[in-house]
Amino acid sequence: MAEGLALALARDRRGATAIEYGLIASLIFLVIVGSMSAFGATATGVINSAANAVSGAM
């Protein structure tokens, strides 16, 4: 009985596929967060420079 269950679980690949998709989704999420962090600091600097230029012109 237990041997049959173990063989059935060993042959089932649906769980492995779900884990693979989860890993791919988490990798994509980390790339998006990392790129937003990197470009967010640059965008903040540009916006602050523009705001200071507008304030100085007034």
Is 35 contained in some domain? yes
Above pLDDT 90, what percent of the chain? 28
Is 3 contained in some domain? no
Is 4 contained in some domain? no
- Can you tell me the distance from the alpha carbon of 3 to that of 6, in angstroms, rounded to the nearest whole number? 5
Total tally of structural domains belonging to the chain: 1
Across the chain, what does the average pLDDT equal?
84
pLDDT value at 7 more than 80: no
Is 8 contained in some domain? no
- Report the predicted TM-score, pTM, of the whole model to 2 decimal places: 0.52
Give the residue, 19 or 10, on which the prediction is more confident. 19
Is 57 contained in some domain? yes
Q: Percentage helix, strand, coil, to 5, in the chain?
A: 95, 0, 5
Is 5 contained in some domain? no
What's the pLDDT at 27? 96
Domain holding 33, by residue range, is 22-58
pLDDT value at 16 more than 70: yes
Is 17 contained in some domain? no
